[in-house]
Amino acid sequence: MSEEIIKKILDRKFTTSNDNDPKTLREILSKNIKENPDGYACRKLYEKMKKAVNLRMDKSGIVTLSFTSSDPLLSAEVANAFVEELEKYINDFTTAEARAKRIFIEKEIEEKRKLLERAEKEKLEFLKKNRVITTPEAKLIKDQLERKEKLYNTLYTTLMNQLELAKIAEKENAFSVKILQKALPPLYKVKPKVKLNVIISAVVSLFIGIFLAFFLEFMRKSLIELDTNPELRNCIDSIKRDFYKILRIFGFSLAKLKNEKNKRIN
């Protein structure tokens, strides 16, 4: 996502579910944000925005945009704002050449209009002073003024036609976005997925419990042979050390396991 678009979104005002007073997204996301010398917000806020925005395109070319935040109303408003800013950004990019040509022609038209008005004024003043053309010099000046007026009039008319063509080209190059569905405040949270986490934790705990039960039973049966078989004792001790390391990773208490083992032996 372009930082230019993100900056525009951060400077736009939004309301939240708990506050109807519009505030900029920059204020909502980070009230104590510090500005850099160049005037931009800190990099962490930009990275946070990039992670919160998700763009997906399916095989049919339909683009889905979503924004994740802790407030459902804010998420919907920001997502819709991103669509608006993206449309403006793409339009500016696709029509940049045609727009530059139109602006150039408009400047030329203004310049030629002033020259045409000046030529018309000069001709009018000359005719007021010379109502009857009698000398060759006066006829020559009149012809020159008429040619100048005609030249600027032709240039002005040509530029006006080119301006209309430039406006048409600019509209043709404009990118059109058809919004199939505006973002609505979600009814449910997308994360954290509490139910899924609980199920995973329960399954993992069950497997660990089963493994622990079989292992403790194996240790109980092997204790009888430990006194008469030193090699078996060394093997059991090595397995126990590795097993306790694994249990500590999952937060099991080593002392608790030893107490459980003593209870089983007794």
**How many whole angstroms from its chain centre is CA 109?**
40
Burial of 6 (0-12, 13-18, 19+ CB in 10 A): buried
pLDDT digits (tens, 9 = 90+) for 38-61: 555 467 777 888 888 887 888 877
* Amino acid 220: pLDDT: 64
* Amino acid 37: pLDDT: 45
Mean pLDDT, all residues of the chain: 78
SS3 per-residue string spanning 154-211? HHHHHHHHHHHHHHHHHHHHCCCCCCCCCCCCCCCCCCCCHHHHHHHHHHHHHHHHHH
Which tokens hold the place of 265? Answer: 């032996």
Peptide linkage before 192 cis (omega within 30 of 0): yes
Q: Which residue has the higher pLDDT, 264 or 132?
A: 132
Specify the residue for token string 């939240």: 16
pTM here is 0.50
Domain positions in the chain: 3-93, 96-173, 194-265
Q: Which residue has the higher pLDDT, 147 or 201?
A: 147
pLDDT digits (tens, 9 = 90+) for 176-198: 667 777 888 777 666 656 566 66
Ranges assigned E (strand) in 5-161: 13-16, 19-24, 53-57, 63-67
